[in-house]
A and B are shown apart, each in its own frame.
Chain A
Amino acid sequence: MKYVLALCGLLLFGCSSKEPAEKPKIAVVISTLNNPWFVVLGESAVKNAEKLGYEAKLFDSQNNPATESDHFENLISSGFDAILFNPTDADGSIANILKAKEAGIPVFCMDREVNSNDAATSQILSDNYTGCVAIGVEFVKQLHGKGNYVEILGLAGDNNTYARSNGFHTVVDKFKGLKMMGQQNGDFDRNKAMEVMESMMQANPDLQGVFCGNDAMALGAYQAIQSAGKSQQIKVFGFDGADEVVQKIKEGKIVATGMQYPKIMAKTAAEFAVEFFKGRKDFPQHIPVAVNLVNAKTSKNF
């Protein structure tokens, strides 16, 4: 009889992975911490979760879907209760989200979108499209609707790459006087963008503008343009709102960028996780976060 009671006791209390009073744990999984922008995103998410009274831990996927998958397996088995997630791949990361979903763990995507409308609990994303529509308008105005230009895209397979390019082209393609001479991937990397810009300038000596899918690439492109002595000829446009680029806009070296708000995305994701713990289950699938145009006129506000 004693053994039966002990067994019942074990079944009732022993199998629970958590003490009833234990606070939920939040995992913050970031695509890469090798980029300052994502460090801000990840650290802000952790700080906000902690500020709201929850335990939070940061995981670095090192831009590697396999590492990201390992993180998900570990944090599901370790009893985390919510995941604030910056995916490595728009398609490849869906399986990881579904694993968490199956385990009853909500996943809130930050900044990078996945190609599924029902995997994540919600996706809090920069309004890349509208931000680049504004860049496109500025581009047309600055080039007076005519001239040759090139585009340096981000990563193939990344939704932000396409959303930014689409927003930009929604405007620029309406102006027949603007001719795109080349379009290449710079992988969101400063050095690669510098090399790409060098080769595109060699192939097209008569360029008037370059649109880069992020500010790291805008800085790389500007470096190449400056080395070629063409900084008065080719206007550079970026996206992100990096401090260095905002400074270069103030100095008149880069024309414009789109200011993103990683801290707001991280804060919203952390607040959503807490709302989920408190019983909210209905979240919009996508929450766009505004991107503001930074140019010579507005740079004093940033």
Chain B
Amino acid sequence: MKKGIGLLILLVILYNSVYFKKLSERTQTRSGKIDFKAKIDSIIQKGVLENPLMTDEIDLIKQLNNNLTIAKKDLGNRLGIGESAYFLVKGQSTIAAITENEIQLANGSMIDTQFIFGNEIRDASRMVKLEDFKSQKDLNALTEALNKQVREVIIPKETKGLKVGDHISYLGACEIAPTDIPVKALTIYPVEIKH
């Protein structure tokens, strides 16, 4: 009887001593759940669509090749330390090829419609400051929430029905590093595509 009670107590202690958690649960708890909706709307509207730094593609390429340092200072942005910078860009062209991942344009540039996961739109907008975030996780969570809105909500609607030969206008963001110079064409992460 005593042994049975002892075993039972031991089992209860053991059961309460060890907790198994999924990695995703652990990180979710750490980063918390923050509602970024208002911030995302503001980044898209004020930081991208209405931003006076939005530069025509041909003009941007010219400025990048002319003097990258000045172009970065005048038009680019990046949070933290790194050699590349992010720029807002708009243009017009005809669709030369289209897949579920990308739109290849007749002017040589490419619009990436699937892999919108990086810091291009966030940083080019100049609407996010490191000082506003006490934690890296919150900053990363904002980035992913912003990208998700563009990637899964905005762009699928705007690319629906597009085909080779369509003339489109587009605006978005791109990343340029010193090793990309001279730039001939851009890879654009779109925020708006119009037919």
Interface centre among B78, B82, B136 (most CB of A within 10 A): B136
Is A191 close to B, CB under 8 A? Answer: no
The answer to whether residues A166 and B133 also contact, given A133-B118, A137-B117, A268-B81 and a CB cut-off of 8 A, is: no
Q: Say yes or no for B179: interface residue by CB 8 A criterion.
A: yes
Residues of chain B contacted by A153 (CB below 8 angstroms): 23
Q: Do A290 and B135 touch (CB < 8 A)?
A: no
Determine whether B140 belongs to the interface, using a CB cutoff of 8 Å to chain A: yes
Bits for A272-302, please: 1 = Cβ < 8 Å to B, else 0: 0000000000001111111010000010010
Partner of A290, one of B26, B84, B134: B84
CB B78 to nearest CB in A, in angstroms, measures 8
Minimal Cβ-Cβ distance residue in A for B136: A286
Given A165-B23, A289-B82, A170 contacting B117 (CB threshold 8 A):
yes
| B residues in contact with A133, CB < 8 Å | 117-118
Interchain CA distance A167-B144 in the complex, whole Å: 10
C-alpha gap A264/B81 in the complex (Å): 8
| B134 with A130: CB separation less than 8 A | no
Contact digits for A126-160, partner B, Cβ 8 Å, 1 yes 0 no: 01011001101100100000000000010000000
Compute how far the CA of A289 lies from the CA of B131 in the bound complex, rounded to whole angstroms: 15
* List of A residues within 8 angstroms of B130 by Cβ: 284-288
Number of B interface residues at 8 Å Cβ cutoff, please give it.
29
CB-defined contacts of B133 to chain A, threshold 8 Å:
285-286
Q: How far is the CB of B181 from chain A (nearest CB, A)?
A: 12
**Complex formed: what's the CA distance from A130 to B140 in Å?**
8
* A-side interface residues, number (CB < 8 Å): 36
Task: Tell me the complex Cα distance, A170–B141, Å.
Answer: 10
| A163: contacting residue among B82, B136, B177, CB under 8 A | B136
In angstroms, Cα B132 to Cα A286, docked, is 10
B80 adjacent to chain A (CB < 8 Å): yes
B140 interface neighbour in A129, A136, A137, A268, Cβ under 8 Å:
A129
Q: Assess whether A58 is interfacial by the CB under 8 Å rule.
A: no
In the complex, what distance in Å separates the CA atom of A291 from the CA atom of B164?
A: 36
Bound-state CA distance A125–B133 (Å) is: 14
Tell me the complex Cα distance, A205–B140, Å: 35
Q: Does A35 contact B (CB under 8 A)?
A: no
A40 at the interface (CB under 8 A from B): no
In whole angstroms, how far apart are the Cα atoms of A169 and B24 in the complex?
Answer: 10
| From B78, B80, B115, B179, contact of A171 by CB (8 A) | B115
Interface pair B115/A137, CB less than 8 Å apart: yes
Interchain CB contact under 8 A, A134 and B144? no
A117 within 8 A of partner (CB): yes
* Interface residue? B119 (CB, 8 A): yes
- A183 interface residue per 8 A CB criterion: yes
Task: State the CA gap A103–B84 with chains docked (Å).
Answer: 39
B80 and A289 within 8 A (CB): yes
Given contacts A162-B23, A166-B27, A289-B81, 4 further A-B contacts (CB under 8 A): A118-B134, A134-B118, A162-B27, A285-B134
Give A residues with C-beta under 8 Å from B: 113, 115, 117-118, 124-125, 127, 129-130, 133-134, 136-137, 140, 153, 162-163, 165-167, 169-171, 183, 264, 268, 284-290, 292, 298, 301
Nearest 9 A/B pairs, CB to CB: A290-B82, A288-B80, A117-B134, A284-B130, A129-B140, A289-B81, A137-B115, A133-B117, A286-B136
Interface pairs (17), CB distance under 8 Å: A117-B135, A124-B81, A127-B80, A129-B136, A130-B118, A140-B115, A162-B26, A162-B30, A163-B136, A166-B140, A167-B140, A171-B115, A285-B135, A286-B130, A288-B79, A288-B81, A290-B80
B contact set with A: CB distance below 8 Å: 23-24, 26-27, 30, 78-84, 115, 117-119, 130-131, 133-137, 139-140, 143-144, 177, 179
